[in-house]
């Protein structure tokens, strides 16, 4: 295969000893990734007693839209 004409043309390919070598990852330990810890939960905010009785009052007086209609063409 190395006798092919491609290897005789200019520019000549780089010699094999100039190719970089990398260590095999198969035999190495896996790198542990840094995982941040979850924030520590603090005390709950002191809201006291919240009055939710009037949350839906006045809903009758709100403007209403046309609603949703699906047109079949």
Question: pLDDT tens digits, residue range 43-58?
Answer: 888 888 888 888 888 8
Is position 47 within any domain?
no
Total residue length of the chain:
73
Is position 67 within any domain?
no
Is position 36 within any domain?
no
Kind plus residue range of the DSSP H or E element containing 22: none
pTM for this model (two decimals): 0.23
CA dihedral 24, 29, 30, 36 (to 10 degrees): -140
Total of domains in the chain:
1
For the stretch 2-40, pLDDT in tens is 788 887 788 877 888 888 787 777 767 777 888 888 888
Is position 37 within any domain?
no
Domain enclosing residue 4, as ranges: 1-25
* Burial group, residue 2, by CB count within 10 angstroms (0-12, 13-18, 19+): exposed
């Amino acid at each position: 295969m190395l006798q092919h004409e491609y290897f005789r043309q200019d520019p000549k390919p780089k010699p094999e000893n100039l190719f970089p070598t990398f260590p095999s990852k198969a035999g190495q330990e896996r790198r542990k990734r840094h995982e941040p810890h979850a924030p520590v939960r603090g005390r709950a905010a002191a809201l006291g007693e919240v009055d939710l009785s009037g949350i839906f009052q006045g809903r009758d007086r709100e403007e209403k839209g046309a609603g949703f209609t699906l047109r079949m063409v």
